């Protein structure tokens, strides 16, 4: 079975302190949904090299055992509560994608 991934890129973050509150709730929801954070860059000291129209802002990659599990985690009550705390000044590009089996 192919894995599922959440991929988020944050082109603009105007309120990093409020984003921390979202991170805490979202992290708990992801863990409860069976997700594993593979990348949270550059906030955890990792490196990012942007090419073409890319951004060096925050990039988050989370892996789930299946695409359906990734969708279910997003739709969960816990993650929906986390989304409410996402600051208005945060722009992000979020995708749920299916891996190659």
Confidence class of residue 100 from pLDDT cuts 50, 70 and 90?
very high
The answer to whether 27 and 79 are in contact (CB under 8 A) is no
Phi, psi (degrees; rounded to nearest 5) at 98: -95, 135
Model pTM score? 0.89
Confidence class of residue 42 from pLDDT cuts 50, 70 and 90?
confident
- The predicted pLDDT at position 40 comes to 80
Coil, strand, or helix at residue 14?
A: coil
User: Which of left, alpha, beta for 47 (phi over 0: left; psi -120 to 50: alpha)?
Assistant: beta
pLDDT surpasses 90 at 82: yes
- The predicted pLDDT at position 99 comes to 96
């Amino acid at each position: 079975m192919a894995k599922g991934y959440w991929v988020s890129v944050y082109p603009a973050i105007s309120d990093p302190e409020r984003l921390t509150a979202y991170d805490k709730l979202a992290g708990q929801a992801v863990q409860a949904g069976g997700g594993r954070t593979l990348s949270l860059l550059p906030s955890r000291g990792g490196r990012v090299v942007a090419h073409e129209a890319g951004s060096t802002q925050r990039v988050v990659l989370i892996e789930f055992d299946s695409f359906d599990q990734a969708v279910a985690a997003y739709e969960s009550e816990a993650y929906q509560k986390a989304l409410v705390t996402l600051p208005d000044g945060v722009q992000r590009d979020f995708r749920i994608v299916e891996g190659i089996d």
